[in-house]
A and B are shown apart, each in its own frame.
Chain A
């Protein structure tokens, strides 16, 4: 229990990912599937940011003043910049995927006048 409270960020990440995964696989509405996809991706983004976060850490930008005036730079004072940069890329990928998904959903709606998966499959069988 104590572990769960101290690592509450990971608990939230897991809950978000489960909501997203359930919506992607179990929902019948195409738009809800897209929303689930976005939630799942957000969960992963938060997970990565959690890995790189440190207690009382600063923004990982070194000013000229700091470099010249301190003998050694303590790594623990700065948040890990790598995870943040990776997630910038992942956000871009997520937006692109969501865009393609919504465009396809719109095309399907034009054909079948419905977002419901069962109705669409029924229509296609005719």
Chain B
């Protein structure tokens, strides 16, 4: 049974999506529990696999049993099938994606009932399909298969964003143009790699590439690498390609943004990490210093510009979208530092940031559910009205700023260490600036939400009635915020048992 676990991770949400769409015809109430069930199965499988991988190393699975064929007269076995792999690099992200999706699916029920009444089953089918695509990107061991899953995730996210209606259509259209361009560039890069290596299997490609580079045939591989990189950057809304993201996430329905914002960009960052660390080796990165310094400058710029724009925002959802943009700069920069603390920081931050963004959008969703909108000026007295939600919100903001013992502190610590070791001081400065800006925004929100109304505890002032979001939304929000602290305390265990082994052995300590 345990050897079937990798495929169960994808099958859970996929079957959930299909069943939710079809049972919705006659039993609309069934679609939500079916999706939750599918995600729960997927999460359980992913959690079990973490322990198996930590004990026994990478788990490989051949779809349909079409594995390696030994051709008579040839030494190397010949790969015919599509492989899915769970190794040290992706096992934690699988748990993060399926876990966050499970919590979010529970969380979104009340929100969807009010925001998208009558269209619930389509929403849940798309939700589950999106998670299928994201899990597929993370788990696959085949670079073309990755493209297909990328498009599954992308198509369902265009539709999810368009559910916001009004301005959301234009935002979704812009995302569609940018996303298709990214996916096409990725596909073109895969074409170059395939033309040189003759295989699409990640293990095989990474075994063949060093020999090709040594024999001087590096031009086509270099072009392929750059195209794949540009594609991944467009997908993750990295600095020059970031224009679509703030509008798309701000105009999407709150329930859709709660699943898109934490996961979609993080999985694209994982794609880049997979290509950099496993497919092309890390030596290749170190030996292409031109791209390295360009990527580092762009990351610093991404962080600085996103921080600057976040200061000028008046809408809470849009503000949070700019936070997503600046966090992408952290991860890309960390990966391109190409040293041990930098890469560790990037890998920890992919998981940590998924959790932080999820908690942030959940808290914002609770506020939107009760207040009806998310303008900063509407937040007057919100700390008295919704104390539990705002406690979770403050913990999340503390994690984004990087206050110990939350997970944001530890990943940022690794990143700063890596940048200092590589001597990239502009990246250190950008990281610190972004923390400062987030602290300013947190205090501005506290000022509006706490100080701009007469304090109700003082006699003679009007009492502010408590009006928390329903429990089905509040419990996931609080659980996610507490999870940030737990993840922070467990960072060293995770790094020692799993992430340290995902780093290439050739890396200087």
Contact = CB atoms under 8 A, between A and B. Distances in A.
Main secondary structure of the interface of B (DSSP, over half): helix
A100 to B, nearest CB: 5
Nearest to A33: B177
B346 interface: no
B173 A47 contact: no
A44 B170 CA distance: 26
B181 A24 contact: yes
Interface stretch (B184-192, B269-277, B475-483): B184-192
A37 B93 CA distance: 32
Given A47-B191, A107-B169, A108-B170, A100 B184 contact: no
A120 B158 contact: no
B501 interface: no
A51 interface: yes
B167 interface: yes
Contacts of A90: 147, 187
B62 interface: no
Interface in B155-202: 155, 158-159, 162, 166-167, 169-170, 172-173, 176-177, 180-181, 183-184, 187-188, 191, 194-195, 200
Interface string A21-42: 1001100001001000100110
A51 B176 contact: no
Contact of A21 (B151, B166, B181): B181
Contacts of B180: 24, 37, 40-41, 97, 101
B144 interface: yes
Interface in A72-123: 82-83, 86, 89-90, 93, 96-97, 100-101, 104-105, 107-108, 111, 120-121
B169 A51 contact: no
B68 to A, nearest CB: 16
Contact of A101 (B167, B176, B188): B176
Given A104-B169, A108-B173, A44 B158 contact: no
B148 A101 contact: no
Interface residues of B, number: 27
B177 A44 contact: no
Contacts of B147: 90, 93
Contact of B176 (A44, A104, A120): A104
A86 B144 contact: yes
A96 B155 contact: yes
A124 interface: yes
Nearest to A90: B187
A104 B195 contact: no
A31 to B, nearest CB: 11
Nearest to A112: B170
B188 A44 contact: yes
Contact of B173 (A40, A51, A101): A101
Contact of B184 (A44, A83, A108): A44
A21 B151 CA distance: 18
Contact of A104 (B151, B162, B184, B194): B162
Contact of B191 (A48, A97, A111): A48
Interface string B276-294: 0000000000000000000
Contacts of B159: 100
A83 B190 CA distance: 11
Given A44-B188, A44-B191, A86-B144, A97 B151 contact: yes
B430 to A, nearest CB: 28
A101 B170 CA distance: 10
A41 B184 contact: yes
A48 B147 CA distance: 14
B265 to A, nearest CB: 19
B271 to A, nearest CB: 16
A2 B173 CA distance: 42
Contacts of A41: 180, 184
A76 B155 CA distance: 38
Contacts of B170: 108, 120-121, 124
A120 B159 CA distance: 20
B162 A107 contact: yes
Nearest to B144: A86
B173 A105 contact: yes
Contact of B177 (A37, A48, A51, A96): A37
Contacts of A51: 191, 194-195
Nearest to A107: B169
Nearest to B152: A93
A104 B170 CA distance: 8
A114 to B, nearest CB: 11
Nearest to A109: B169
Contacts of B173: 30, 101, 104-105, 108
A89 B191 CA distance: 14
B115 to A, nearest CB: 18
B210 to A, nearest CB: 22
Interface in B57-77: none
21 contacts: A24-B180, A24-B181, A37-B180, A37-B181, A40-B184, A41-B184, A44-B184, A44-B188, A47-B188, A86-B144, A93-B147, A93-B148, A93-B183, A97-B154, A97-B155, A100-B176, A101-B173, A104-B169, A104-B176, A108-B173, A111-B166
Given A24-B181, A120-B170, 6 more contacts: A44-B187, A47-B191, A48-B191, A100-B176, A104-B176, A111-B169
Give 8 closest A-B pairs by Cβ, nearest first.
A104-B173, A93-B151, A107-B169, A51-B195, A108-B169, A101-B176, A100-B158, A37-B180
Interface of B: 144, 147-148, 151, 154-155, 158-159, 162, 166-167, 169-170, 172-173, 176-177, 180-181, 183-184, 187-188, 191, 194-195, 200
